[in-house]
Amino acid sequence: MIVCDTPILQEWLAPKQEISSHPGVTYPRPKWTKLFAEDFLVSNSIEFARWDSTPVQPIVCETCWDSGCGSYTLGLAFIELVGDYLLWVPPTAADVPWEDVTDYRRSRFRQKTLLMPVNVWNNLRGRFPNLPAADHFPPPRKCDLANLWFDEMPEDVRVDSPEKLTVRLLHEAIASDPSELDESRENVADWLAWMQTEPNTLVPGRFVRVQDFDGSLNSLFFEGPPFPEWKAFVVGPRRGLVFGNQWVFQLD
Contact set with Zn ion (CB under 5 A) = 61, 63-64, 69
Q: How far is CA 60 from CA 72, 227, 229, in A?
A: 8, 45, 41
List Cα–Cα distances, 212 to 67, 170, 226, 232, 238, in angstroms: 39, 31, 27, 16, 15
Separation between Cα atoms, residue 78 and residue 87, nearest integer Å: 8
Round to whole Å and give the CA distance between 207 and 196: 21
One-letter identity of residue 57:
Q
Helices (H) and strands (E) in the chain, counts: 5, 15
Nearer to Zn ion, 76 or 188 (CB): 76
Closest to Zn ion by CB, 76 or 120:
76
Kindly tell me which of 63 and 111 has the beta carbon lying closer to Zn ion.
Answer: 63
Q: What DSSP designation does 214 have? A: -
Q: Who contacts 89 (Cβ-Cβ below 8 Å, separation ≥6)?
A: 77, 78, 80, 113, 140, 144, 147, 148
Q: Least distance (Å) from Zn ion to the CB of residue 198?
A: 36
15/244 with CB nearer Zn ion: 15
Nearer to Zn ion, 64 or 202 (CB): 64
Nearer to Zn ion, 73 or 113 (CB): 73
Min dist. Cβ of residue 66 to Zn ion (A): 5
Min dist. Cβ of residue 25 to Zn ion (A): 19
Distance of alpha carbon 56 from alpha carbon 9, whole angstroms: 19
Closest approach of Zn ion to the CB of residue 42, in Å? 19
How far apart are CB 48 and Zn ion at their closest, in Å? 12
Q: Are 87 and 79 in contact (CB under 8 A)?
A: yes
Q: Cβ closer to Zn ion: 64 or 175?
A: 64
User: How near is the Cβ of 15 to Zn ion at its closest, in Å?
Assistant: 11
Q: How many CB atoms sit inside 10 A of residue 96's CB?
A: 16
Count the Cβ atoms, other than its own, within 10 Å of residue 25.
Answer: 9
Helix (H), strand (E) at residue 216: strand 216-222
Q: Which residues pair with 18 in a beta bridge?
A: 26
Q: Tell me how far, at minimum, the Cβ of 131 lies from Zn ion, in Å.
A: 22
